[in-house]
Amino acid sequence: MNKLPEVGAAQVSHRNEERMRSAVDRLLGSYEPPPDAELRGAERSSFFAPVSLLFDDDVFPRYSAFAHDISRSGIGLLHVMPLQLGEVIVAICHPRSGPLSFRTQITYCKAYGEVWYKSGGRFLELIEA
C-alpha cells in the first residue's frame, strides 16, 4: 500500500499535472446530462453553504442540508433525506450576508448513491432580510 505524504508535502510533477488536466478535460468533454436532468433557464452560480430546512410552523430547523448552487429564482440542495415536493422554508446563514430565509417550492428530489439526495426549489417569498 502506498504511504500518503505528510500534509503540505505533496508535490505534483508537471507531467502528472498535465495528465490529470487532460483526464478531467476528457471526462467533462464526454459528460452528457441524464435525460431527466433539470435544465432551468435561470443563470446559476456555485454556492456551497449550509442551510436549514423548516416545515409549516416548525420553531426549530428540522433538517440540515447544503446549498450547491443558487440563482435569482431558486436553489439547488444536497442532503441525506428525501424531501416531499411542496413548500419549505430554506434558511441560509452566510457569514458575509447574514441570515436569509426563503419560502421555497421544492420541485424535484432525486436519490444519488446510497444516502444522498439532490433537490431543487423555486423561491416564492423572502421571509427575512
Domain count, the chain: 1
In a domain, 91, yes or no: yes
Cell 421544492, residue? 106
In a domain, 58, yes or no: yes
Task: Supply the range of the domain harboring residue 85.
Answer: 45-128
- pTM here is 0.69
**Domain CATH number, residue 117:** 2.40.10.220
In a domain, 10, yes or no: no
Give the pLDDT confidence of 116-125 residue by residue, as tens digits.
999 999 999 9
Give the pLDDT confidence of 43-89 residue by residue, as tens digits.
778 888 899 999 877 777 689 999 999 998 899 999 999 999 999 99
Those residues with Cβ within 8 angstroms of residue 70's Cβ, 6 or more apart along the chain or in another chain: 44, 45, 47, 76
Among the listed residues 44, 41, 109, 39, the one whose alpha carbon sits nearest the alpha carbon of residue 79: 109
